[in-house]
Amino acid sequence: MSGSINSLSSLECVELPNNRTEHSMVTGDTPRAMRLTREGTVVVVLLVILAVFAVLLERITLIVAVAAVGAWLLTYQWSVVNSFIEANETHSVALTPHQSQHFVDEDVDITLQLTKSAATDVSLTVVSPLPVGASGSPREDRRVSIAGTDSSVSTAFTHQYPVAGQYSLPAIELTFADRLGLFIEEQYVETETQIQITPHAPRSMHVGQGGERIASAYGDTPSGQRGGGLLPLVLREYTGEDSARQIDWKATARLGTPYITEYEQEADYQTILVVDHRTPMADGPRGQTKFDYVRDLALGFLEAGFESTDSVGMTVVEEDSYRWIRKPTSGIESHQILSEELQRLEGPTPSSSKSRVTVSGSRFREEGQLLRQRLSTESTAFETTLRHYLRPVANQTQTQADSLQEALTTLYTRRGRSGSGEVLLFTDDSNRHRLLNSISTLRRHGYTVGVFLTPTVLFESQNLTDIAAEYERYVSFEEFRKRLTRLSGVSAFEVGPRDRLSVLLSNSQSHRQQSRQD
């Protein structure tokens, strides 16, 4: 009788062979030992209790009955092991996203399908867990079961991802259960399913000057050369394998036949992308904010604007600080890391308590700057007095620009006065005075600067109510952009929604024509 009890205790120690599940979306499984369910445990405990009482009471009939039930349970366990092995070899699991690429916070539709090619007494249950950081349908919607004569069953559910990047779906939970519910085995089936989540990209990108789009390639650096930091190496005749953009037109005009100038990379030349991630960059509708536009443009530079030998780094400016995503490093892999980190960056959160004050303050600063620019050439007593009241307050708190100025200051203090390189700055025009001073300082320390500004007037409101006032604000921005461009070694561009800028310029032109007629 003690042997029967020991045999009953061994029911929890049987392990199935490690069979692989083959499917295009599934790579293999990690099994756990077959074990008793709660119901199976209750049956075993009752048999043990009955066996003990039968021995104590010396009831031969009861002892024989308990031994018979124990023998049956052991035989049934062996049959369950064979059934689980057969089911493991004849099932397949497919986890299929409806699309391979999706956007942040949008529903990702996924289908989970379980197929059994042979009829068995085993029931199979599959659950697809949520990836870390994702939300989605409840567990019941991500669960399918198949039993009896059923051959296939599927379910559809959704995920949502708040951060851009590439996600690998976690291992699927697969459970085998016998028809009496006494034994189960759990497996974790690894998958190769990956989902690419990308940030919302602006639908109509405008990069230009004075309302005119620039004609250069999307990823070209402002200096006109791909990558910057190029030193003339040799002048040679143009061949059919060369690009037309490489032609040195001055040498061609002088020599009478097309020539190109080959360059070599300056050894210590670096290109640094500075991306503004502060609260003002949250202006605009969802997926069309200032930050969405500058991020999309910065990604364009990283994907098409640099060669593998270019040393490129990136820093992100936060509300009260800045952080390096990666120090300047060359290589395709390094550039890809910068792109991935920039895509994962969530958009800045607008401050509800300060948004109205920020918008009003920004508008007042723009109007004050516009008046100062127009009065700069006047010399009458009235204009002189008025200029005094329009001067920026020296001790005015400007916390929004402090972190950006600190980030730009670090660039030349880290490299020293002899450093050379190019800074691509992606920001807005919310604090023009500090921006102008910071860029001027960068130039004095040998940096070439490309500035990509998102005009606040194009993002604050989606309805152009006062055409004349909005156009005046755009003119003020354009005058500031031109002032930056007049600095030696600085190229300044406007970045924003093409359709909104077109509406503003066309409506303002119609408004001026109507005013002349009146």
Which pLDDT score is estimated for 4?
35
Please give the Cα distance from 89 to 444 (Å, whole number): 72
**For tokens 């851009």, what's the residue?**
164
Given a contact cutoff of 8 angstroms between Cβ atoms, the answer to whether 427 and 277 are in contact is: no
From 151, 176, 198, give the residue that closes a domain. 198
Phi/psi at 405 (nearest 5 deg)?
-65, -40
Please give the Cα distance from 218 to 385 (Å, whole number): 46
Asked, for residue 184, whether it belongs to a domain, the answer is yes
Same domain? For 217 and 86 the reply is no
From 198, 220, 242, give the residue that closes a domain. 198
Asked, for residue 472, whether it belongs to a domain, the answer is yes
In total, how many domains does the chain have? 2
Which pLDDT score is estimated for 352?
57
Give the CATH number, domain containing residue 355.
3.40.50.410
How many helices (H) and strands (E) the chain has is answered by: 12, 23
Torsion of CA 377, 382, 385, 388, to 10 degrees: -40
- pLDDT, averaged per 10 consecutive residues of the chain (518 residues), comes to 37 39 46 80 88 84 86 90 86 84 85 85 90 89 84 90 83 90 88 81 82 60 46 65 72 76 60 93 88 91 76 91 87 87 85 47 52 55 58 42 81 62 92 91 88 90 69 90 91 90 74 48
Please give the Cα distance from 271 to 314 (Å, whole number): 8
Same domain? For 74 and 216 the reply is no
Same domain? For 126 and 216 the reply is no
Asked, for residue 260, whether it belongs to a domain, the answer is no
Phi/psi at 62 (nearest 5 deg)?
-65, -35
Same domain? For 159 and 98 the reply is yes
Query: Could you give the 3-state DSSP secondary structure of residue 250?
Result: helix
Please give the Cα distance from 267 to 328 (Å, whole number): 13
Do strands 35-36 and 212-213 pair parallel, antiparallel, or not at all (unpaired)? unpaired
Same domain? For 396 and 285 the reply is yes
Amino acid at 398: Q
Which pLDDT score is estimated for 492?
92
| Residues spanned by the domain of 176 | 2-198
Same domain? For 34 and 78 the reply is yes
Please give the Cα distance from 99 to 113 (Å, whole number): 16
Asked, for residue 255, whether it belongs to a domain, the answer is no
pTM of the model as a whole: 0.59
Report residue 126 as tokens. 């599959």
Same domain? For 217 and 134 the reply is no
Query: Could you give the 3-state DSSP secondary structure of residue 207?
Result: strand
Q: How far is CA 10 from the centre of its chain?
A: 52
Torsion of CA 323, 325, 327, 331, to 10 degrees: -170
Same domain? For 290 and 382 the reply is yes
Asked, for residue 283, whether it belongs to a domain, the answer is yes
Asked, for residue 245, whether it belongs to a domain, the answer is no
Same domain? For 427 and 483 the reply is yes
Asked, for residue 253, whether it belongs to a domain, the answer is no
Please give the Cα distance from 501 to 282 (Å, whole number): 19
Residue 168's DSSP bridge partners are 194
From 182, 198, 214, give the residue that closes a domain. 198
Please give the Cα distance from 61 to 405 (Å, whole number): 93
Which pLDDT score is estimated for 317?
93
Same domain? For 160 and 217 the reply is no
Same domain? For 419 and 284 the reply is yes
Same domain? For 321 and 469 the reply is yes
Give the CATH number, domain containing residue 122.
2.60.40.10
Which pLDDT score is estimated for 391?
55
Asked, for residue 330, whether it belongs to a domain, the answer is yes
**For tokens 């539709």, what's the residue?**
109
Which pLDDT score is estimated for 16?
38
Given a contact cutoff of 8 angstroms between Cβ atoms, the answer to whether 219 and 304 are in contact is: yes
